[in-house]
Amino acid sequence: MSELVAETIAVAMSGGVDSSTVAAMLRAEGHAVIGLTMQLWNQRRLAGHSGMPESVSGRCCSLDDVYDARRVAETIGIPYYVVNHEERFERDVVRPFVEEYLAGRTPIPCSLCNNHLKFDQLLVVARSIGAERIATGHYAQVSFDETAGRWWLKRPVDRSKDQTYFLFGLTQEQLSRTLFPLGGMTKPEVRELARTYNLVIAEKPDSQEICFVPGGDYKKFLDAYLEEQGAEARLDVGGEMVTASGEVIGEHSGVHNFTVGQRKGLGVATGSPLYVIQINNETRQVVVGPDEELYTRSLRARRVNLISVASIDAPMRVAVKIRHKHAPAGAVMEMAGPDEVLVTFDEAQRAVTPGQAAVFYEGDVVVGGGWIS
């Protein structure tokens, strides 16, 4: 710590334990810390719309969280501001989230938020107000690799909290201006530190769900959002439910109600368990079948962002994560287009889901990632 040079750092504060502790740590190290919270979504906005309760209390940008962040900032003695990015959030996160579901894919809004809001808009605000770098409470590590001449993103010490899967989209410029002070700590250590700093949120439970979807019920959210947007936004996305051989075994009310690997709520009864194998957006068909049909050996990922290397010139051995809670699986990746890669797994993987990310690792180092197509 003695090597640290004091600088002005903006901390993205959510009001939770992790980001609050980051702010307190950096302050204790002698940096000039500015706390920032992004106002991204008005939780009351969809209240009363289709299926949503009149009083909605979601996690995102709730007044309680802002109150907590403000209390922490006051406790540790740093300036604190809330900045409004609701328009950008709706354009770059919420609309794509809705459109992906309507197209039969399963989106990850957290990655979009990181790419477009936290490490883009918020970084601009931070630099505007005199902080050249931002720090967040993500569990990940960032460092400059002299040999490669590139900024590397690495998995954190606490593997159970690894959030690198959501950070694969960060550019070299963004990584060079980012600090993840919790990358070397475990969650219990962070909580202990929060107690040491007398932070009021030290015992606050972790948040898990998508922040703007109250109670985690994305279908209700989609219905309410589409209703608010009016008739034009409502798409007729109902269609047939078919087997892999093309046999029609039922109907469904909309492709957005399904995700690959889903078993419950299919609305068809057969002797053996059925799963969603594939969603065909063009024909609006939901393909169902037995568990074994869920396994595939390869995937294609588009809009690839590379981190540890500048380019993939030859097939490369990596471990690939295809969803947040997936154990990385051995595979070979190679370029299949200008920003598209082909991933061939050593062993077939279950429920490769379009719309999710495929993130490539070499040991602890994130090579890059892309969106499963």
Partner 1 sequence: MARVYLDNNATTPLLPEVLEAMLPYFGGQFGNASSIHSHGQATRAAVERAREAVARLIGARASEIVFTSGGTESDNLAIFGIVGGKGGHGSPVGGQRNAGQWSPVGGRRGADGSQLTVHSQSHVITANIEHHAVLNACRHLEELGCEVSYLPVDPWGLVDPSDVRRALRDSTQLISVMMANNETGVVQAVSEIGAIAREAGVLFHTDAVQAAGKIPINVDEIGCDLLTLSAHKLHGPQGVGALYVRKGTELEAQMYGGRHERSRRAGTENVAGIVGFGAAAEAAVAGFSREDDLKIGELRDRLERGLMGIEACRVNGGTQRGGGQNPHPKIAQDAILRVGHPRDSRPERVPNTTNICFEGIDGEALVIALDLKGLAVSTGAACSSGAIEASHVLLAMGLSAEQARGSVRFSLGKMNSAEDVEFALAVVPETVGRLRELSPVWVGGQRSEVRGQR
Task: Give the residue numbers annotated as catalytic, written as ranges.
Answer: 113, 211
Query: 212 or 345: whose CB is closer to partner 1?
Result: 212
Shortest Cβ distance from residue 337 to partner 1 (Å)?
21
Query: 79 or 238: whose CB is closer to partner 1?
Result: 79
Shortest Cβ distance from residue 358 to partner 1 (Å)?
24
Shortest Cβ distance from residue 132 to partner 1 (Å)?
11
CB 352 within 8 A of CB 299: yes
Interface residues with partner 1 (CB under 8 A)? 34, 37, 39, 61, 63, 66, 70, 79, 81-84, 86-87, 124-125, 127-130
Query: 128 or 311: whose CB is closer to partner 1?
Result: 128
Shortest Cβ distance from residue 68 to partner 1 (Å)?
12
Shortest Cβ distance from residue 326 to partner 1 (Å)?
31
